[in-house]
């Protein structure tokens, strides 16, 4: 992580993306390369393309906080994460992550990273609720309505309302999490747009793949330092995704150039088992998003209204 404090990273995420206690957005990409010699299947990813995995954490300003490049392309995001120094340092409390703190009217909450479904749910890593839990309830056409008592019917109605309310809250949570997580998507996209070697598979040794990607990361961060001049030249308005005052999203220009043949492609996820404490933290954060931490436009965003 950078010299600036974790508290500042978290403040930036809350101010820019309405995600409190966030220490960074996590994602992974395949760095697609021409078939290396004697690689066997270790460098082949799930699309049968030879690659190395690039795992990264971004701050709220599209700058890389942490990168881990060079793992075999056959690994999923979560697999790279489990073997990374980042997870080890988090679990050994070596990063100076702030202690748990109050979050609105919700009780004390830990600070955390945000990722997609490819990552495990941990108290220090929030991921979305599974899509299958967001499906609307289906009516049971086999029930004989005349055989159901009024009290049973009322109980069923209450249960249905409770289920729909939970589903609604989880959709809000997933929207809010996705909004913060898209930052790292844009970080990768901006870098690939500016450093053209990443726009197509390239030929290099394992060592040079790491050097090339690391150089791109360093140059990317250098251009996005606090200087307004270099920032505006490197990432002018419209390059990254942006929102209007109603929260409606317009995709950044880098996405138009992402034709699926670049050197950076998505990493496949896998299922993970999570501890009950991590579920509780996610539920508390979900509750925060519909109480003290709600934003005016979130309802319209999950309903798809304009």
Q: Give residue 280's pLDDT.
A: 92
Supply the DSSP string of 174-191, one letter for each residue: HHHHHHHHHHHHHHHHHH
* Bridge partners, residue 29, by sequence: 54, 266
**Using CA atoms, how far apart are residues 56 and 188, in angstroms rounded to an integer?**
9
The dihedrals phi and psi of 206, each to the nearest 5 degrees, come to: -55, -45
Q: Give residue 184's pLDDT.
A: 95
Pairing type for strands 51-58 and 22-32 reads antiparallel
Q: What is the pLDDT of residues 157-203, one digit of tens each?
A: 545 667 888 899 999 999 999 999 999 999 999 998 888 888 788 88
Contact between 12 and 2 under an 8 Å Cβ cutoff? The reply is: no
Phi-psi region of 108 (alpha: psi -120 to 50; beta: other; left: phi over 0): beta
* Average pLDDT of the segment spanning 130-141: 62
Give the pTM.
Answer: 0.78
To the nearest whole percent, how much of the chain has pLDDT over 90?
30
Contact between 71 and 53 under an 8 Å Cβ cutoff? The reply is: yes
Which SS3 state, helix, strand or coil, does residue 277 take?
helix
Confidence of residue 142 (pLDDT cuts 50, 70, 90): very low
Q: Supply 302's token pair.
A: 């999950």
């Amino acid at each position: 992580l950078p010299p600036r404090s974790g508290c500042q990273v978290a403040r930036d995420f809350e101010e820019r993306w309405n995600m409190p206690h966030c220490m960074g957005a996590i994602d992974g990409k395949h760095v697609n390369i021409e078939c290396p010699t004697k690689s066997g299947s270790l460098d082949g990813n799930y699309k049968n393309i030879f690659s190395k995995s690039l795992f990264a954490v971004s701050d709220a300003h599209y700058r890389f906080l942490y990168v881990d490049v060079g793992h075999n392309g056959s690994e999923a995001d979560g697999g790279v994460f489990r073997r990374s120094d980042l997870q080890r340092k988090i679990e050994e409390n070596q990063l100076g992550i702030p202690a748990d703190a109050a979050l609105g009217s919700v009780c004390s909450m830990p600070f955390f990273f945000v990722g997609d479904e490819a990552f495990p749910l941990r108290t220090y890593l929030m991921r979305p609720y599974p899509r299958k839990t967001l499906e609307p309830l289906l009516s049971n056409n086999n029930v004989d309505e005349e055989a159901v008592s009024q009290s049973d019917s009322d109980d069923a109605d209450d249960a249905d309302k409770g289920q729909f309310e939970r589903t609604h809250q989880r959709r809000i949570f997933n929207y809010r999490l996705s909004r913060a997580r898209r930052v790292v998507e844009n970080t990768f996209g901006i870098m690939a747009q500016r450093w053209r070697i990443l726009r197509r598979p390239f030929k290099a040794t394992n060592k040079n793949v790491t050097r090339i990607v690391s150089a791109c990361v360093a140059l990317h961060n250098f251009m996005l330092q606090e200087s307004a001049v270099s920032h505006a030249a490197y990432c002018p308005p419209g390059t990254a995704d942006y929102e209007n005052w109603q929260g409606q999203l317009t995709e950044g220009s880098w996405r138009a150039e992402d034709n699926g043949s670049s050197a950076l492609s998505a990493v496949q996820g896998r299922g993970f088992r999570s501890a009950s404490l991590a579920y509780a933290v996610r539920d508390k954060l979900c509750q925060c998003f519909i109480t003290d931490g709600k934003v005016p436009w979130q309802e319209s965003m999950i309903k798809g209204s304009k």
